[in-house]
Structure 1
Amino acid sequence: MTIWRPERGALKRPAYRSLAQSLIGAIESGELQPGDRLPTHRELAFDLGLSVQTISRAYEELVRLDIVTGEVGRGTFVRAGPVETRTPYHRLGGDEDVIDCSMLTPVIGAIHSTRMSATMAELAQAAPEGALFSFRPGQTMRPHRDSGARWLARCGVDAQPDRILPTNGATAAMTVALMTAASPGDLVLSEEIGHHTLRPLARYLGLRIGALASDEDGIAPDSFAHACAANPVKAIYVMPNGLNPTATTMSADRRAALVEIARAHDILIVENDAWGPLQPERPRPIAALAPERTLYFTGFSKCLLPGLRAAYLVAPEALVAAATNRHLVTNWMATPLMFEIASSWIADGTAAALLRWQQRALGRRNRIAAEMLEGLPFRASPNGLHVWTPLPEGWSEGAFVAHARLNGVAVAAGSAFAISDRAASAGVRICLGGPAEAALRRGLETVAELLRGEPDPGIPVI
């Protein structure tokens, strides 16, 4: 059993939080090692003059943060290594008083419930038979492709309906796109801090994944060109419109440079544009520059409504049949009722109205973030759903995320988005869409205090 004990006089109120932070400090300093057993609840309660309930609450917080693990009958131990599935969002209980800035979600208001209720009432009276009874994807989805073409034009992509594949959200589109672009054993490249599901998905599909260096303009062309010259590369995965964790919007020149390299080496491009037209002043999508080699997808859950799990995958003409077949064997077809709602909203202007509402709401939140983080380095886009801030020297991502959580704010560690095990600059993603504006302001204030303060894991911010 470890001999670690915190100093009784160093604990501050609330005691459970201070105790948890003291233990994090011991791990950061090396006083506690992976696998070390912690004192029992009763032992520590007696030594510190605290209640067993206080010790239990501190340990429970550390379990939620994946810092320690409890084993029935054996005790509580410092976690021996990272968990298998790294997720940027936190596991929050319904009774936790935590401002959640870890989950990437749009802003939600009464307008969403009102519009959805009205649309569902209309569908209840006159739902097309094909949306209810058909097993034939081609016939059922044909009118939905036509609606998709109109929405994609708003995104800057000119696509004929027969190149559009409706899918159950962006995740399904991403899976089909990767299965179409590459086969098991092929190498797919992406920026070093990228999509948090790309690495495990590539592993499940048997793909090799490679990380490319990035700068303030996105993927570095030299890094891409060097990787293509060194190894056979099948595809590159890009998020050029601020969606990536570092909130980078790629310039038109940078997009053109990457397309030129992809053409020179005959490489396919998978473009994730899940935010769609949320950013009105962005450059043209890569799919507009290189339609012959780009599998592009966009959806509604990030720019309109989380529950509207509907997306469009646009494939090059030469890959339409392959993408359709892969979608058939993995999903058969997208849920018709979801696309009845999406198509109705596109046709009657609801989608455009909700988009404008979302742009205004996120614009306000980005201004709040700029105010609260003034003087600190951070990166954002005008109507983006998150900001990215590098960590000051002395902070590890794990310690910062844990301290923010213990002070009532959940943020996402940059390592959750790492495409390789290679060390990258430490930073955190702070999502803006979930909390109410007043709570967001408080949460950002707490984060700013941590960023401006000394990185001392043993001292809580109260």
Structure 2
Amino acid sequence: MSIWPPKKDMLKRPAYRSLAQCIVAAIEAGEIRPGARLPTHRALAYQLGLSVQTVSRAYEDLSRLGVISGEVGRGSFVKAGRPDGRVPWHRLAGGEEVIDCSLMVPVTGAIHSERMSAALVDLSTDLPEPAILSFRPRATLEGHCELARGWLSTCGVDVDRNCILPTNGNTAAMTIALMTAALPGDLIVSEATGHHTLKSLANALGMRLSGLAIDAEGIIPEAFESACRSETVKVLFVLPSGLSPTAAMMSTERRQALADIARRHRVWIVENDAWGPIQPDRPPPFAAIAPERTFYFTGLTKCLLPGLRIAWLVSPEMMVSAARTRHLVTNWMATPLIAEIASRWLENGTAEELLSWQREQLERRNRIAAQMLGGLRYNATAYGLHVWLPLPEPWREDAFVTHARNDGVAVAAGSNFAISESYEPAIRICLGAGTEQDLEQGLAVIARLVRSTPEPALLAI
């Protein structure tokens, strides 16, 4: 049965989103080929009995998603190939009244604007020249690395400052770690439900990626051992401290077991600890258990302030030079001005103040989640930034996400985090955005939907 062009009765409300989904489905089915020119807004509106504005909005959404491109005077064309990876969050248009639980951000408040304003005022009267004039990474950031040692120690990592590489956020640190630990064609293994950008990053770097079976603590050691015996594994990528989509907190025993396997098979470990010390009283990191083979990174973006894009990559001593070289050829250096602000906050106690504030906010929000989702099966940690909620039958992820959005709440589908083909349908609910009242309202909508039994017609989306 042909799905393109669609019939008007195939479109659900809201019509613009349903039309966009029909176009994507037609592209994936091969009924619309890459490079094909789509009908004009007016022609398709007339054909389907829709308003021109509805078609325009559908095309705009597809353009933002990278599915089509518009050329003035020529029309709209399907891009060659699919976009490189799906994103778990929704691209919210200005003016949309949606409670956004899809994007993982820390809680923010007036305190952040006040502290940043004060830092900028201080910089205006006491600006070190290297922060704006230097092209020498190591000389410029040497003092910053010494201060970063103190922050890393709160994460359980005791390391010489020469092993610390400042980067422009966790994504840059993650990229450099993989580029240093593996080569194109090498195999990386990670959680079956893992980091949402890892799949695209591995593909861009020409590396292979395989998902390993997980349980409530994360990667199952037997699955890692089996993978290592089947073929050469170069990197184990882990999110062991509640950061994984499933919010798994790995025990010390599990970390030790995985580290022992990595040693036996000479596998490098890349440890993503982007939230840093938000989670108190957690087990020691892999960087403390197996420092000779662990690339560890953490930063301030997720635990203090989204705009403070600074992170630190800690490399095994024998790989420090290689990591610095790869950082030089891809980023040159972390932005000195941001590093200067971070240094001052690490030194004067502002970082610790904002960390304590963040913990308090997240503890309250997790209590709200526990109350609103009571009786439902979900995974979370006491200070985590998100909740992982498996979906009961007969709900499908895409239908649930769409219905939640129609009810004013944006959540992320679990399929965005799938590294292996086998995974349990679920949604990720982020707790950081908006007010506590917004969060409570959004969780009430989610809980109502999960507890409901949808009509078959509601699942046909």
TM over 0.5: yes
Kept in 2: contact 1:186–1:207 (CA 8 A): yes
Task: Pick closer, same or farther for the CA change 1:26–1:112 going to 2, 3 Å.
Answer: closer
Partner of 2:205: 205
C-alpha deviations, 1:218-263, integer Å up to 9, x for none? Answer: 1000100000000011110000011111111111111111011111
Partner of 1:360: 360
Instruction: Look up the equivalent residue of 2:441 and give its one-letter code.
Output: R
Task: Pick closer, same or farther for the CA change 1:454–1:54 going to 2, 3 Å.
Answer: farther
Residues 1:294 and 2:294 are matched in the alignment: yes
Residues 1:440 and 2:439 are matched in the alignment: yes
User: What is the SS of the residue equivalent to 1:371?
Assistant: helix
Q: Distance in 2 between matches of 1:80 and 1:327?
A: 31
Partner of 2:186: 186
Partner of 1:151: 151
Kept in 1: contact 2:69–2:77 (CA 8 A): yes
Partner of 2:448: 449
Partner of 2:249: 249
Partner of 1:431: 430
Instruction: Look up the equivalent residue of 1:319 and give its one-letter code.
Output: M
TM-aligned CA deviation for residue 395 of structure 1: 2.0
Residues 1:112 and 2:112 are matched in the alignment: yes
Partner of 2:124: 124
Q: Distance in 1 between matches of 2:257 and 2:456?
A: 43
Q: Distance in 1 between matches of 2:93 and 2:202?
A: 31
Gaps of 5+ in 2: 33-37
Instruction: Look up the equivalent residue of 1:407 and give its one-letter code.
Output: D
Kept in 2: contact 1:35–1:77 (CA 8 A): no
C-alpha deviations, 1:65-92, integer Å up to 9, x for none? Answer: 9799899999999999975431111111
TM-aligned CA deviation for residue 215 of structure 1: 0.5
Kept in 1: contact 2:218–2:249 (CA 8 A): yes
TM-aligned CA deviation for residue 354 of structure 1: 0.2
Q: Distance in 1 between matches of 2:80 and 2:406?
A: 21
Q: Distance in 1 between matches of 2:61 and 2:127?
A: 49
Partner of 2:96: 96
Task: Pick closer, same or farther for the CA change 1:146–1:76 going to 2, 3 Å.
Answer: closer
Kept in 1: contact 2:63–2:70 (CA 8 A): no
User: What is the SS of the residue equivalent to 1:458?
Assistant: helix
Instruction: Look up the equivalent residue of 2:433 and give its one-letter code.
Output: G
Q: Distance in 1 between matches of 2:142 and 2:96?
A: 46
Task: Pick closer, same or farther for the CA change 1:214–1:79 going to 2, 3 Å.
Answer: farther
C-alpha deviations, 1:288-316, integer Å up to 9, x for none? Answer: 11111100000000000000000111111
Task: Pick closer, same or farther for the CA change 1:139–1:374 going to 2, 3 Å.
Answer: same
Kept in 2: contact 1:24–1:458 (CA 8 A): no
Instruction: Look up the equivalent residue of 1:265 and give its one-letter code.
Output: H
Instruction: Look up the equivalent residue of 1:351 and give its one-letter code.
Output: A
Kept in 2: contact 1:309–1:338 (CA 8 A): yes
C-alpha deviations, 1:13-68, integer Å up to 9, x for none? Answer: xxx44x679889999xx9x98849999545655xxxxx837955995798599799
Task: Pick closer, same or farther for the CA change 1:2–1:144 going to 2, 3 Å.
Answer: closer
Partner of 1:412: 412
Kept in 2: contact 1:68–1:76 (CA 8 A): no
C-alpha deviations, 1:390-413, integer Å up to 9, x for none? Answer: 111222222221221222111111
Partner of 1:48: none
Partner of 2:163: 163
Instruction: Look up the equivalent residue of 2:440 and give its one-letter code.
Output: R
Q: Distance in 1 between matches of 2:198 and 2:293?
A: 20
Kept in 2: contact 1:170–1:311 (CA 8 A): yes
TM-aligned CA deviation for residue 6 of structure 1: 3.7
Task: Pick closer, same or farther for the CA change 1:202–1:317 going to 2, 3 Å.
Answer: same
Task: Pick closer, same or farther for the CA change 1:55–1:135 going to 2, 3 Å.
Answer: closer
C-alpha deviations, 1:162-212, integer Å up to 9, x for none? Answer: 111111110110011001111111111111111111111111111111110
Identity rate of aligned residues, in percent? 53
Q: Distance in 2 between matches of 1:57 and 1:453?
A: 34
Q: 1:43-54 maps to which residues of 2 (within 5 A)?
A: 45=49, 52=51
Instruction: Look up the equivalent residue of 1:135 and give its one-letter code.
Output: F
Instruction: Look up the equivalent residue of 1:239 and give its one-letter code.
Output: L
Partner of 1:329: 329
Task: Pick closer, same or farther for the CA change 1:371–1:24 going to 2, 3 Å.
Answer: farther
Number of positions where the alignment pairs a residue of Structure 1 with one of Structure 2: 445
Q: Distance in 2 between matches of 1:383 and 1:326?
A: 34
Q: 1:191-340 maps to which residues of 2 (within 5 A)?
A: 191-340=191-340
User: What is the SS of the residue equivalent to 1:364?
Assistant: helix
